Structure 1
Amino acid sequence: MSDWLISIEGTASGQQLALALALMAALLHAVFGAIQKGRHDPWLTRGAVDFSYAALAAPIALFLVPWPEPHMWIIFAAVWAIHTVYKILQAMAYSRGAFTVVYPVVRGTGPLFAVIGAYLLFGETFNLVQWMGVAVLLSGIFGLAIYNLIFLDVARDTLPAALTLAVMTGLLVAAYTTFDAYGIRETADPFTFLAWFFLIDGLSMPVIAAIRWRRMEARPDLGPLMLRGAIGGIIAPLSFGAIMLATRLDSVGEAAVLRETSAVFAALIGWLFLGETVGPRRTALMALIAAGAVIVEVGG
């Protein structure tokens, strides 16, 4: 599998697979976001998810894939730090704001800075048509956030803090997208990077969640929480793994933009499963997001 993936890097087949992986990552990331925002405290959910995928990754990292090259340990340390800050900010944002307000702001801030980061780190450039697509996509994402902010019944007292944290989280999304792409390109076997990433990345949040759980007066039952964590522990590696592979196979910037169609999937999930309203205006805004992603892909 690794040899085949490496052989199609930069080819037409690699571009097609990268497109499919980025869209799969978008859908799964929206599902993952809804899981973290669901019935349990987002800190506890994230801890349960990270524990689950670290446990799944451990035997693969230790016994099934080649060990990382010596220079990769510094990269893994940086990746761990970026992702840990990202997850803390995300949990803080979800603790203070509605999913359909916070999520679009996070995802709208990320791709713009990811495109800039891809230019600075990899020398990637977008043409005028692709920048138009980015503008269309971002107008849909931020329009969706503004609409939700105005019309939905949300907690207004904590909203400024939630939106500030959402923007900061979006900046961390851009940081981890570009640096993860750098990391997965720096190792010979992409699955070595993925396995060790999920093992190392899953070490911090379970500790934070355990401390938070012990300090709660009304502690939730661990059974349903760990079940949610187990589900998320399968979805998260598929989502993050898919986007990382897409950035190795093709353009980092294009993959980052395509993943932000997750805002469309998130709105649909909010409507279908979280009881949140979706009307014609929000549908039109979601259409803008999809149209922007199509323009970026076709324009490239």
Structure 2
Amino acid sequence: MVGLAFALVLSSGFVHSIWNLYTKKSMNKIVFLWLCQIISVIVLMPWTIIEWDASHFTGTALLLMLASVALHGMYITLLAATYTVGDLSQVYPIMRGTSPLLVPLMAVLFLNESLSPMGWLGVVIIVAGILFLSEFKLKRVQGTSARAPLLALAVGLCIAGYIVVDKMALDYFPVIIVLQATNIGNMLVLTWASLRSHAIGQELRVNWKTILLGGVLAPGGYLLFLNAVSLAPVAQLAPMREIGTVFGTLLGIFILREQQGRRRIFTSILITAGIIILGLWG
């Protein structure tokens, strides 16, 4: 079962990097993400109805669900803002590099999970690799402000928070119920800004294909991860999900034609090494 969990996490990282690429390439990030959420809700609704009776509605369960929806809502709003002002190669490593450090700490503190010394070494290697990959752009770059990196850091904090909360919510709800609740919350959070933008028609005309794909890939990637954490400790799996940073680097090379030096190739190998250490000896 652990091997299956690892495979699900690696697949989740790959899928996540693809739909983030689509988001960055979109015209209006808020509208694009809003339309993707609508597609996600529609696609998952039949499955949600089937699994509804397996839920256990208690006071604790409802509080966890509300916390999850709130964290995901903050995440999706901050994500749109981050990709509006920041480059993919700048903000993606920062966003994805925050949770590998925080989630194991939170899992140890709140979920009674543990990591071996080798597991912590793997976490440190992953975080170090992601920091190198981000090229330490938390300082001013070419006269611009630190707004994009700070927004990316806030996104990472939301990711760390909702991963732990969602792990706890799975004790009361099937995976699909947790996912659909967050999708609906995300859609509602983005609705007002999307309607006021008057950019819905243009976004649909230009990016309708990637909107359809994003509407499937965005929940699909997290669905893979939620299934994984139901099989193995989240402290071990959450850092492994950051293999998506490596996938994002490769997508930048072959899709966005970004200039990648030896440093980025090296850091991608470093992250992969950390993931292998964490997976085998964590």
The verdict on a shared fold, with TM-score over 0.5 as the criterion, is: yes
Specify which of 247, 254, 262 is matched with residue 244 of structure 2.
Answer: 262
Q: Which residue of 1 aligns with 2:41?
A: 54
**Identity across matched positions, percent:** 25
Deviation at 1:220, TM superposition (A): 2.4
Structure-to-structure mapping, 1:29-48, within 5 angstroms: 29-48=16-35
Residues in 1 aligned to 2:159 and 2:4: alpha-carbon distance in whole angstroms: 22
The corresponding residue for 1:7 is: none
In structure 2, the gaps of 5 or more residues are none
The answer as to 2:8 corresponding to 1:21 is yes
263-272 vs 89-98, which moves further? 89-98
> What amino acid sits opposite 2:26 in the alignment?
R
Q: Deviation per CA, 1:141-163, whole angstroms, max 9, x where unpaired? A: 0001016789xxx9744451101
Structure 1 partner of 2:222? 240
Deviations 1:42-97 (A, max 9, x none): 212111111110121223223x2233322243332221110011111111111111
> 1-side partners of 2:29 and 2:142: how far apart?
19
Task: Give the 5 Å matches for 1:1-300.
Answer: 14-62=1-49, 64-67=50-53, 68-71=55-58, 72-146=61-135, 156-187=142-173, 189-211=174-196, 213-214=197-198, 220-300=202-282
For 2:203 and 2:151, the matched residues in 1 are separated by 29
Give the drift of 1:223.
2.7
- Paired residues of 2:118 and 2:281 also in contact (CA < 8 A): yes
1:200: how far off? 4.3
Counterpart amino acid of 1:267? T
Cα drift, residue 106 of structure 1? 0.7
Amino acid at match of 1:66: W
- Could you tell me which amino acid in structure 2 is paired with residue 226 of structure 1? W
Mark the CA change 1:262 to 1:234 in structure 2 (over 3 Å): closer, same or farther.
same
Q: How many residues align?
A: 279
Q: 1:106 to 1:159 in 2, by over 3 A?
A: farther
Aligned counterparts of 2:136 and 2:177: Cα–Cα separation in 1: 42
Residues 265 and 198 (structure 1 numbering): CA distance in 2 closer, same or farther, change over 3 Å?
same
Q: Distance in 2 between matches of 1:30 and 1:159?
A: 25
TM-score, normalised by the number of residues in structure 2: 0.91
Query: Contact conserved, 1:53 with 1:202, CA < 8 A, in 2?
Result: no
